[in-house]
Protein backbone atom coordinates (compact mmCIF):
# COMPACT_ATOMS: atom_id res chain seq x y z
CA UNK A 1 0.00 0.00 0.00
CA UNK A 2 1.23 3.48 -0.86
CA UNK A 3 1.70 5.73 2.16
CA UNK A 4 -0.74 8.63 2.35
CA UNK A 5 1.03 11.95 1.83
CA UNK A 6 0.02 14.83 4.10
CA UNK A 7 -0.94 18.24 2.78
CA UNK A 8 -1.40 21.37 4.90
CA UNK A 9 -3.22 24.28 3.22
CA UNK A 10 -2.85 27.91 4.30
CA UNK A 11 -5.70 30.34 3.57
CA UNK A 12 -6.70 33.88 4.46
CA UNK A 13 -10.22 34.21 3.07
CA UNK A 14 -12.73 32.65 0.71
CA UNK A 15 -10.77 29.46 0.22
CA UNK A 16 -12.17 28.49 -3.17
CA UNK A 17 -8.83 27.06 -4.30
CA UNK A 18 -8.62 25.07 -1.06
CA UNK A 19 -12.11 23.72 -1.76
CA UNK A 20 -11.13 22.73 -5.30
CA UNK A 21 -8.11 20.87 -3.89
CA UNK A 22 -10.17 19.10 -1.21
CA UNK A 23 -12.74 18.04 -3.82
CA UNK A 24 -10.10 16.79 -6.27
CA UNK A 25 -8.33 14.81 -3.52
CA UNK A 26 -11.64 13.14 -2.62
CA UNK A 27 -12.99 12.59 -6.13
CA UNK A 28 -9.72 11.41 -7.63
CA UNK A 29 -8.79 9.39 -4.53
CA UNK A 30 -5.34 10.90 -4.20
CA UNK A 31 -2.86 8.96 -2.06
CA UNK A 32 -2.88 12.06 0.13
CA UNK A 33 -4.93 13.62 2.89
CA UNK A 34 -5.59 17.25 3.69
CA UNK A 35 -4.10 17.08 7.17
CA UNK A 36 -5.09 20.63 8.15
CA UNK A 37 -6.26 24.01 6.95
CA UNK A 38 -4.59 26.92 8.73
CA UNK A 39 -5.75 30.52 8.46
CA UNK A 40 -4.31 33.79 9.70
CA UNK A 41 -7.88 35.07 10.10
CA UNK A 42 -10.50 33.49 12.37
CA UNK A 43 -13.29 34.78 10.11
CA UNK A 44 -11.90 33.33 6.86
CA UNK A 45 -14.87 31.85 4.96
CA UNK A 46 -12.81 28.82 4.01
CA UNK A 47 -12.50 27.72 7.66
CA UNK A 48 -16.20 26.86 7.86
CA UNK A 49 -15.97 24.73 4.72
CA UNK A 50 -12.93 22.85 6.01
CA UNK A 51 -14.57 22.24 9.40
CA UNK A 52 -17.69 20.91 7.67
CA UNK A 53 -15.43 18.48 5.80
CA UNK A 54 -13.97 17.24 9.07
CA UNK A 55 -10.56 18.73 8.29
CA UNK A 56 -8.65 20.03 11.34
CA UNK A 57 -8.64 23.84 11.24
CA UNK A 58 -6.19 26.07 13.08
CA UNK A 59 -6.05 29.85 13.29
CA UNK A 60 -2.81 31.74 13.84
CA UNK A 61 -3.88 35.40 13.95
CA UNK A 62 -1.10 37.52 12.49
CA UNK A 63 -2.36 40.59 14.37
CA UNK A 64 -1.39 38.95 17.67
CA UNK A 65 2.30 39.05 16.76
CA UNK A 66 4.57 42.08 16.97
CA UNK A 67 6.90 40.85 14.25
CA UNK A 68 6.70 38.91 11.02
CA UNK A 69 9.32 36.50 12.36
CA UNK A 70 7.24 35.86 15.48
CA UNK A 71 4.15 35.12 13.43
CA UNK A 72 6.04 32.85 11.05
CA UNK A 73 7.57 30.89 13.94
CA UNK A 74 4.13 30.31 15.47
CA UNK A 75 2.72 29.37 12.08
CA UNK A 76 5.57 26.94 11.46
CA UNK A 77 4.96 25.27 14.80
CA UNK A 78 1.29 24.72 13.96
CA UNK A 79 2.12 23.42 10.48
CA UNK A 80 4.88 21.09 11.61
CA UNK A 81 2.60 19.51 14.21
CA UNK A 82 0.94 17.88 11.16
CA UNK A 83 4.27 16.81 9.59
CA UNK A 84 3.20 17.75 6.05
CA UNK A 85 4.87 16.46 2.89
CA UNK A 86 3.55 19.52 1.09
CA UNK A 87 2.54 23.01 2.19
CA UNK A 88 0.01 24.71 -0.11
CA UNK A 89 -0.56 28.47 -0.10
CA UNK A 90 -4.09 29.05 -1.35
CA UNK A 91 -4.93 32.73 -1.13
CA UNK A 92 -2.67 33.14 1.90
CA UNK A 93 -2.19 36.89 2.05
CA UNK A 94 0.93 37.21 4.19
CA UNK A 95 4.48 37.80 3.04
CA UNK A 96 6.60 35.01 4.49
CA UNK A 97 10.09 35.44 5.92
CA UNK A 98 13.06 33.83 4.12
CA UNK A 99 13.63 31.62 7.18
CA UNK A 100 10.10 30.24 6.91
CA UNK A 101 10.29 29.70 3.16
CA UNK A 102 13.70 28.05 3.45
CA UNK A 103 12.33 25.60 6.04
CA UNK A 104 9.77 24.35 3.46
CA UNK A 105 11.90 24.77 0.33
CA UNK A 106 10.99 22.22 -2.34
CA UNK A 107 7.70 21.33 -0.64
CA UNK A 108 5.78 24.61 -0.72
CA UNK A 109 3.55 25.69 -3.59
CA UNK A 110 1.62 28.90 -4.30
CA UNK A 111 -0.90 30.01 -6.88
CA UNK A 112 -0.60 33.53 -8.21
CA UNK A 113 -3.33 35.13 -10.33
CA UNK A 114 -1.19 36.22 -13.27
CA UNK A 115 1.04 34.73 -15.91
CA UNK A 116 4.30 35.11 -14.01
CA UNK A 117 6.74 36.75 -14.31
CA UNK A 118 4.22 39.45 -15.27
CA UNK A 119 2.26 41.26 -12.58
CA UNK A 120 3.67 40.22 -9.24
CA UNK A 121 2.10 41.48 -6.01
CA UNK A 122 -1.52 42.57 -5.58
CA UNK A 123 -4.32 43.73 -7.92
CA UNK A 124 -2.99 41.55 -10.71
CA UNK A 125 -6.19 41.70 -12.79
CA UNK A 126 -6.18 45.49 -12.77
CA UNK A 127 -2.47 45.42 -13.60
CA UNK A 128 -3.27 43.25 -16.61
CA UNK A 129 -6.09 45.56 -17.76
CA UNK A 130 -3.88 48.62 -17.32
CA UNK A 131 -1.10 47.01 -19.35
CA UNK A 132 -3.51 46.11 -22.15
CA UNK A 133 -2.32 42.53 -22.41
CA UNK A 134 -4.48 40.21 -24.52
CA UNK A 135 -3.68 37.13 -22.45
CA UNK A 136 -3.78 36.87 -18.70
CA UNK A 137 -3.99 33.91 -16.36
CA UNK A 138 -2.66 32.09 -13.34
CA UNK A 139 0.55 30.39 -12.29
CA UNK A 140 1.34 27.60 -9.84
CA UNK A 141 4.92 27.86 -8.65
CA UNK A 142 7.25 26.60 -5.97
CA UNK A 143 7.78 29.26 -3.35
CA UNK A 144 11.24 30.75 -2.93
CA UNK A 145 12.24 33.66 -0.69
CA UNK A 146 11.66 36.20 -3.49
CA UNK A 147 7.95 37.13 -3.67
CA UNK A 148 6.02 35.55 -6.58
CA UNK A 149 9.16 33.99 -8.05
CA UNK A 150 10.25 30.37 -7.97
CA UNK A 151 10.07 27.51 -10.43
CA UNK A 152 6.86 27.49 -12.44
CA UNK A 153 4.88 24.25 -12.28
CA UNK A 154 1.76 25.08 -14.31
CA UNK A 155 0.08 28.01 -16.01
CA UNK A 156 -3.29 28.64 -17.62
CA UNK A 157 -4.14 31.56 -19.87
CA UNK A 158 -7.42 33.30 -20.62
CA UNK A 159 -8.15 35.92 -23.26
CA UNK A 160 -8.67 39.45 -22.01
CA UNK A 161 -11.93 40.65 -23.57
CA UNK A 162 -12.55 44.24 -24.64
CA UNK A 163 -15.30 44.79 -22.06
CA UNK A 164 -13.58 42.97 -19.19
CA UNK A 165 -13.61 44.52 -15.74
CA UNK A 166 -11.34 43.51 -12.90
CA UNK A 167 -14.20 41.32 -11.61
CA UNK A 168 -15.07 39.53 -14.85
CA UNK A 169 -11.42 38.88 -15.60
CA UNK A 170 -10.77 37.63 -12.05
CA UNK A 171 -13.72 35.23 -12.29
CA UNK A 172 -12.45 33.75 -15.56
CA UNK A 173 -8.95 33.35 -14.17
CA UNK A 174 -10.29 31.78 -10.97
CA UNK A 175 -12.02 29.02 -12.97
CA UNK A 176 -8.63 28.13 -14.38
CA UNK A 177 -6.98 28.28 -10.96
CA UNK A 178 -9.39 25.62 -9.75
CA UNK A 179 -8.19 23.36 -12.57
CA UNK A 180 -4.43 23.88 -12.53
CA UNK A 181 -3.82 23.99 -8.79
CA UNK A 182 -5.26 20.54 -8.00
CA UNK A 183 -3.50 19.19 -11.10
CA UNK A 184 -0.11 20.57 -10.00
CA UNK A 185 -0.55 19.29 -6.46
CA UNK A 186 -1.39 15.86 -7.78
CA UNK A 187 1.83 15.90 -9.84
CA UNK A 188 3.76 16.72 -6.66
CA UNK A 189 2.04 13.99 -4.66
CA UNK A 190 2.79 11.48 -7.42
CA UNK A 191 6.47 12.46 -7.29
CA UNK A 192 6.41 13.74 -10.87
CA UNK A 193 7.96 17.18 -10.27
CA UNK A 194 11.68 17.83 -10.31
CA UNK A 195 13.34 21.19 -9.94
CA UNK A 196 16.64 21.94 -11.62
CA UNK A 197 18.87 24.67 -10.23
CA UNK A 198 15.94 26.15 -8.34
CA UNK A 199 14.71 27.56 -11.61
CA UNK A 200 13.13 25.08 -13.99
CA UNK A 201 10.46 22.62 -13.01
CA UNK A 202 9.98 19.47 -15.08
CA UNK A 203 6.88 17.30 -15.01
CA UNK A 204 7.60 13.66 -15.80
CA UNK A 205 4.93 11.66 -17.63
C1 LIG B 1 -6.80 33.56 -5.82
O2 LIG B 1 -7.03 34.38 -6.93
C3 LIG B 1 -5.33 33.22 -5.74
O4 LIG B 1 -4.71 33.10 -6.97
C5 LIG B 1 -4.77 34.39 -5.00
O6 LIG B 1 -5.74 34.75 -4.06
C7 LIG B 1 -7.02 34.30 -4.52
C8 LIG B 1 -7.56 33.40 -3.45
O9 LIG B 1 -8.86 32.98 -3.72
N10 LIG B 1 -3.48 34.07 -4.44
P11 LIG B 1 -9.48 31.79 -2.86
O12 LIG B 1 -9.34 32.18 -1.39
O13 LIG B 1 -8.75 30.54 -3.18
O14 LIG B 1 -10.92 31.72 -3.25
CA distance 114 to 108: 18
Q: Which atom of ligand 1 is nearest to the CA of 113?
A: 4
17 CB near ligand 1 (under 6 Å): yes
pLDDT in tens, the chain (205 residues): 568 999 999 999 999 999 999 999 999 999 999 999 999 999 999 999 999 999 999 999 999 999 999 999 999 999 999 999 999 999 999 999 999 999 999 999 999 999 999 999 999 999 999 999 999 999 999 999 988 889 999 999 999 999 999 999 999 999 999 999 999 999 999 999 999 877 788 999 8
Residue 149 annotated in active site: no
Answer whether 113 contacts ligand 1 (Cβ < 6 A). Answer: yes
pTM: 0.96
Tell me which of 62, 103, 112, 149 is the catalytic residue.
Answer: 112
Question: Of 150, 37, 39, 154, whose CA–CA distance to 101 is shortest?
Answer: 150
What are residue 79's phi and psi, to 5 degrees? -65, -50
| 110 CA: nearest ligand 1 atom | 10
- Beta strands 32-39 and 57-59 are parallel
Please choose, from the candidates 41, 58, 17, the residue with its C-alpha nearest in 3D space to the C-alpha of residue 181: 17
Residue having the nearest C-alpha atom to atom 14 of ligand 1: 16
Residue to probe by mutation, ligand 1, list 19, 91, 137, 158, most atoms within 8 Å of CB: 91
Distance 76 CA to ligand 1 centre (A): 21
137 lines ligand 1 (CB under 6 A): no
- The pLDDT tens digits of the residues spanning 175-190 come to 999 999 999 999 999 9
Q: Does residue 137 contact residue 114 with C-beta atoms inside 8 Å?
A: yes
Q: Which residue puts its alpha carbon closest to atom 6 of ligand 1?
A: 91
**Three-state SS at 85:** coil
Question: 154 forms bridges with which residues in the sheet?
Answer: 140
Q: Which atom of ligand 1 is nearest to the CA of 170?
A: 2
pLDDT in tens, 88-121: 999 999 999 999 999 999 999 999 999 999 999 9
Amino acid sequence: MRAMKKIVILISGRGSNMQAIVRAAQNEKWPAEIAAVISNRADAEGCAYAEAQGIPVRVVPHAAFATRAGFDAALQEQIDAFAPDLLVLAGFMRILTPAFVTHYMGRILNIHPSLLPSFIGLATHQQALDAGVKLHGATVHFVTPELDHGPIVAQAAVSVLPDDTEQTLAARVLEQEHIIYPKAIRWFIEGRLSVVENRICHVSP
